[in-house]
């Protein structure tokens, strides 16, 4: 459903169906029951999306095989995902180390990272998301396996958590910034990255603005295996660029452009976005879609989704948009 829009919007994206194979009705009553029919359907959807869309638009759209997490995934599902990724030559993405330690042990009777390793969810083509609930042994496992990290400090902080990225970097792990939710202004993610690292280390000099910007650009590209194409301005790389209006309140005067941008920039300051040489945002407005219509349609779709959820489960109903 979303893939055609991504293609027409002109953005660059890794896309995938985030799979699990639990029976949701049983889960709502507090039971973890794996469902063969759900597994078959989810794997079919994930593989089908990848086969149809990987490499489309001159490689601007790439597929990833994605698992929700360990506690909601049976060994058969994860091994099936691993096999599909190997067959199609794709990366794997999975939420790891995000507070499900006891649940994984209860459901699978294995330590969380031992279970991940056994099911092929650690490795040089795996992008682990979060990893704030990890001990020293688990960090060693991640590093030795060559697993990369999508570090999501902005989302993590709302959960009261900080990932130990300095310890991970000291062991040679490749780390890039991620969002893990649609509400985040990416510049806030840069600042959350700096703040959380300094709070964890009790050191105001840990992680510079330049370091944070690298984590959000060239390092993030490396996590996705695309640092030879994007992530920095170099001869021969694709023209994926943001142009920021620095003559705005909060960004002027500019003594250090990088520090000013990282500490004070916001998404609203982005004037132009170029993807693969094509302008997709100009004067702060999306050029490849009707913004007003899109916002209206998104609000209607969200309200309908919450209504369906309420009809089935009877709670967690969001107020209708004004």
- How do strand 270-275 and strand 91-96 relate by DSSP bridges? unpaired
Confidence of residue 316 (pLDDT cuts 50, 70, 90): low
Neighbours of 233 (CB within 10 A): 11
Q: Which of 173, 109, 175 is nearest to 139 (CA)?
A: 173
pLDDT tens, residue by residue, 278-297: 999 999 999 999 999 999 99
Label residues 64-88 b or e (16+ Cβ within 10 Å = b).
bbbbbbbbbbbeebbebbbebbeee
Residue 198 belongs to domain spanning: 3-237
Over pLDDT 90: what percentage of the chain?
87
Pairing of strands 175-177, 148-151: parallel
Strand-pair partners of 19 = 67
Q: For residue 313, what pLDDT band results from cuts at 50, 70 and 90?
A: confident
- Cα separation, 146 vs 225, in Å, equals 13
- What is the token pair recorded at 118? 């056994």
178-182, 228-232, 250-254, 294-298: least confident range = 178-182
The percent of residues in the chain predicted with pLDDT above 70, rounded, is 97
Residue 145: pLDDT band by 50, 70, 90 thresholds? very high
Question: Would residue 283 count as lying in a domain?
Answer: no
Residue 309 lies in a domain: no
Asked if residue 55 is part of any domain, the answer here is yes
226 is a domain residue: yes
> CA angle, 5 as apex, 292 and 185 as ends, to 5°?
60
pLDDT confidence bin for 182, thresholds 50/70/90: confident
Quick one: average pLDDT of 99-111? 96
Total count of domains within the chain: 1
pLDDT at residue number 309: 85
Q: How far is CA 312 from CA 21, 37, 134, 139, in A?
A: 19, 20, 35, 40
Please say if the pLDDT value at position 317 is more than 60: no
Give the C-alpha separation, 195 to 273, whole Å: 27
In a domain, 126, yes or no: yes
Residue 120 lies in a domain: yes
CATH number at residue 202: 3.20.20.140
Residue 315 lies in a domain: no
Is there a domain that residue 301 lies in?
no
Q: Higher-confidence residue: 310 or 176?
A: 176
- Band of pLDDT at residue 24, cut at 50, 70 and 90: confident
Mean pLDDT of the chain: 94
* Angle between helical axes of 186-201 and 209-216 (0-180°, round to 10): 130
* In the predicted structure, residue 87 carries a pLDDT above the cut 90: yes
Whether the predicted pLDDT of 252 surpasses 70: yes
Is the per-residue pLDDT at 130 higher than 50? yes
Nearest to 214 by CA among 163, 269, 151: 151
| pLDDT score for 244 | 95
């Amino acid at each position: 459903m979303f893939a055609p829009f991504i293609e027409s919007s002109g953005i660059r994206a890794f896309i995938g169906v985030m799979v699990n194979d639990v029976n949701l009705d049983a889960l709502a009553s507090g039971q973890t029951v794996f469902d063969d029919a759900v597994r078959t359907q989810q794997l079919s959807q994930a593989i089908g999306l990848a086969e149809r869309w990987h490499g489309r638009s001159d490689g601007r759209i790439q597929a990833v095989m994605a698992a929700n997490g360990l506690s909601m995934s049976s060994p058969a599902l994860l091994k099936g995902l691993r096999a599909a990724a190997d067959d199609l030559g794709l990366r794997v993405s999975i939420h790891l180390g995000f507070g499900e330690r006891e649940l994984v042990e209860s459901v699978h009777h294995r330590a969380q990272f031992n279970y991940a390793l056994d099911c092929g969810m650690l490795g040089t083509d795996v992008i682990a998301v979060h990893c704030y609930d990890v001990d020293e042994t688990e960090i060693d496992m991640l590093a030795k396996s060559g697993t990369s990290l999508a570090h999501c400090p902005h989302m993590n902080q709302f959960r009261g958590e900080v990932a130990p990225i300095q310890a991970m970097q000291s062991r040679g792990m490749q780390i890039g910034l991620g969002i893990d939710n649609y509400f985040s202004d990416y510049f806030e993610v840069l600042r959350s990255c700096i703040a959380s690292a300094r709070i964890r280390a009790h050191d105001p000099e840990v992680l510079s603005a330049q370091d944070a910007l690298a984590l959000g650009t060239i390092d993030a590209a490396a996590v996705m295996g695309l640092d030879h194409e994007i992530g920095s301005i170099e001869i021969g790389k694709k023209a994926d660029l943001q142009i920021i209006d620095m003559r705005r309140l909060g960004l002027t005067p500019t003594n250090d452009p990088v520090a000013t941008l990282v500490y004070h920039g916001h998404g609203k300051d982005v004037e132009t976005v170029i993807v693969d040489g094509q302008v997709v945002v100009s004067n702060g407005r999306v050029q490849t879609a009707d913004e007003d219509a899109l916002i209206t349609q998104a609000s209607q779709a969200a309200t309908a989704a919450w209504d369906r959820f309420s009809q089935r489960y009877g709670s967690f109903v969001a107020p209708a948009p004004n």
